[in-house]
């Protein structure tokens, strides 16, 4: 079997990679287990040095890695470079703060002769998506390795070149062989990997369907996991918002990574009294973005990553329009080679339309008019997802009150939702469970052990 890399800007094949066999996987797990036993004996400070070196290698190879991501999944080159830089920052965060976060603790009110220690679980399997081919991996791997674990990466099958490049970066940084390995496989071998007793935990970012499948396998094997399963993030625009600012920030959020981000704002819930003015600003900002060759640093919007993703998105738009949504901008695929889709704005979106009920993974925005703040909150929460949310208002007190009522893992005020290495990242409801990043991400794959009398 083979994994094929296709350039989504041209539709042409880039390369073909041999998929790892069952024997290859068995050897990889054996190497990971053996390497982890040595890696865990290093002090946190020693592991931190490797992460600092990893950050330096990422920066040294930034342009090369960014060009690879752009070629394999179509991310505009400027954004690919920013992603590699963010990956370096993630390594530096855990290098700087990991040793302190792993230090023994004495909980308040606990017996005087007791302490809590944080010890590695062992080998962690990471199942990662294609949309942030470097950052998704680093935000999982940096805390996993900082904690003394080893990591096996099962990356998305459409970016095998990125998967191999990441493994090479870890090797160049001096991380011992076997501590980090990329597995070039599809989905078929995953159940056996999860069932392997040497694999102690799983982390996954992907679709609800993938998360449910992997979580069921992990649960059957009694293994912990962290699952980030995407979202249909609401952006609430209230009557007292700065509408020009809201239009610009919402346009940026919707088109980040060509609309292929879990925390892109996707549903724009706008109070009717300002709906027309917001639409004017929003549509103008979207229309001004440059779409085209993702290797051009001036490009804002590249292609979708695969042909099937574009076809699914267009079907969602078409069904929504048939059910009463109006098109303010765009509305379909762009002609020519590659998997480009026009930046699209749908308004008068209502329940029963895919644009209301489903996640739109591409440059399509759904505007949902509401009467007032109370209805805005109700509509924002009327979704199976719960990853991020944004609120646009001039009142900080109002924003704080609304933030407490939104069912989401993160709420940003007058800004777009994004991850930060120091803050917990994850969702509720069908957006998954568990948290990445910060102390929460580091301790997610640690044995939190009580020790009394020693």
pLDDT in tens, 266-317: 999 999 999 999 999 999 999 999 999 999 999 999 999 999 999 999 999 9
Mean pLDDT of 183-201: 98
Look at residue 113 and tell me whether its pLDDT is greater than 90. Answer: yes
Q: Which residue has the tokens 């998954």?
A: 432
> What global pTM score does this model have?
0.97
Report pLDDT for 5: 97
Q: What pairs with residue 153 in β-bridges?
A: 126, 182
User: Residue 58 class from Cβ within 10 Å (0-12 exposed, 13-18 middle, 19+ buried)?
Assistant: buried
Report pLDDT for 232: 96
Report pLDDT for 376: 98
- CB proximity list for 121: less than 8 A, separation 6 or greater: 149, 200, 201, 224, 445, 446, 447
Q: How many residues does the chain have?
A: 454
Q: How far is CA 113 from CA 117, 181, 451, in A?
A: 13, 40, 8
pLDDT in tens, 356-397: 999 999 999 999 999 999 999 999 999 999 999 999 999 999
Report pLDDT for 54: 98
At residue 54, the 3 state secondary structure works out as: helix
Domains and CATH numbers, the chain: 2-229+428-452 (3.40.605.10), 233-413 (3.40.309.10)
Buried/exposed 66-78: b ≥16 CB within 10 Å, e otherwise? bebbbbbbbbbbb
Report pLDDT for 36: 98
**DSSP assigned state of 105:** B
pLDDT in tens, 68-112: 999 999 999 999 999 999 999 999 999 999 999 999 999 999 999
- Give the DSSP letter string of 321-360: HHTT-EEEE--SBPSSSS--B--EEEES--TTSHHHHS--
Catalytic positions are 228, 262
pLDDT band at 133 (very low <50, low <70, confident <90, very high): very high
Mean pLDDT of 322-350: 98
**% of the chain at pLDDT higher than 90:** 99
pLDDT band at 227 (very low <50, low <70, confident <90, very high): very high
Tell me phi and psi for residue 159, to 5 degrees. Answer: -130, 50
Report pLDDT for 351: 98
The CA-CA-CA angle for residues 22, 23, 28, to 5°, reads 95
Mean pLDDT across the chain, nearest whole number? 98
Report pLDDT for 326: 98
Tell me phi and psi for residue 227, to 5 degrees. Answer: -130, 120
Mean pLDDT of 255-270: 97
Mean pLDDT of 437-447: 97
User: Residue 114 class from Cβ within 10 Å (0-12 exposed, 13-18 middle, 19+ buried)?
Assistant: middle
Report pLDDT for 1: 78
């Amino acid at each position: 079997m083979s994994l094929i890399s296709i350039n989504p800007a041209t539709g042409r094949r880039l390369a073909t990679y041999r998929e790892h066999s069952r024997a290859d996987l068995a050897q990889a797990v054996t190497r990971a287990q053996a390497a982890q036993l040595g890696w865990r004996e290093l002090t946190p400070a020693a592991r931190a040095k490797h992460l600092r070196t990893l950050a330096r290698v990422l920066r040294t190879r930034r342009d090369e890695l960014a060009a690879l991501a752009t070629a394999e999944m179509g991310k505009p080159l400027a954004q690919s470079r920013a992603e590699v830089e963010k990956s370096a920052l993630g390594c530096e965060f855990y290098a700087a703060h990991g040793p302190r976060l792993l230090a023994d603790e004495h909980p308040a009110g606990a017996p005087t002769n007791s302490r809590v220690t944080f010890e590695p679980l062992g080998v962690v399997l990471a199942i990662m998506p294609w949309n942030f081919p470097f950052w998704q991996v680093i935000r999982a791997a940096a805390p996993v390795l900082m904690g003394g674990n080893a990591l096996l990466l099962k990356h998305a099958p459409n970016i095998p070149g990125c998967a191999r490049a990441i493994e090479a970066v870890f090797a160049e940084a001096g991380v011992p062989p076997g501590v980090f390995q990329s597995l070039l496989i599809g989905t078929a071998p995953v159940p056996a990997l999860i069932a392997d007793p040497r694999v102690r935990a799983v982390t996954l970012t992907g679709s609800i369907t993938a998360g449910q499948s992997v979580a069921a396998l992990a649960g059957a094997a009694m293994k912990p996991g962290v699952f980030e399963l995407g979202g249909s993030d609401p952006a609430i625009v209230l009557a007292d918002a700065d509408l020009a600012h809201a239009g610009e920030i919402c346009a940026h959020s919707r088109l980040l990574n060509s609309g292929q981000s879990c925390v892109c704002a996707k549903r724009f819930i706008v109070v009717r009294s300002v709906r027309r003015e917001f639409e004017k600003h929003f549509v103008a900002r979207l229309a001004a973005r440059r779409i085209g060759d993702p290797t051009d640093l001036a490009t804002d919007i590249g292609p979708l990553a695969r042909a099937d993703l574009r076809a699914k998105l267009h079907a969602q738009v078409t069904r929504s329009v048939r059910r009463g949504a109006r098109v303010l901008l765009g509305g379909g695929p762009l002609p020519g080679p590659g998997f480009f889709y026009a930046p699209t704005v749908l308004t008068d979106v209502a329940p029963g339309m895919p644009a209301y009920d489903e996640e739109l993974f591409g440059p399509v925005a759904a505007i949902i008019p509401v009467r007032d703040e109370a209805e805005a909150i109700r509509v924002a929460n009327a979704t199976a997802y719960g990853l991020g949310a944004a609120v646009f208002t001039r009142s900080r007190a109002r924003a704080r009150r609304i933030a407490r009522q939104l069912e989401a893992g993160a709420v940003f005020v007058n800004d777009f939702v994004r991850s930060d290495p120091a803050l917990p990242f994850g969702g509720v409801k069908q957006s998954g469970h568990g948290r990445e990043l910060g102390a929460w991400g580091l301790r997610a794959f640690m044995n939190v052990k009580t020790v009394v009398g020693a």
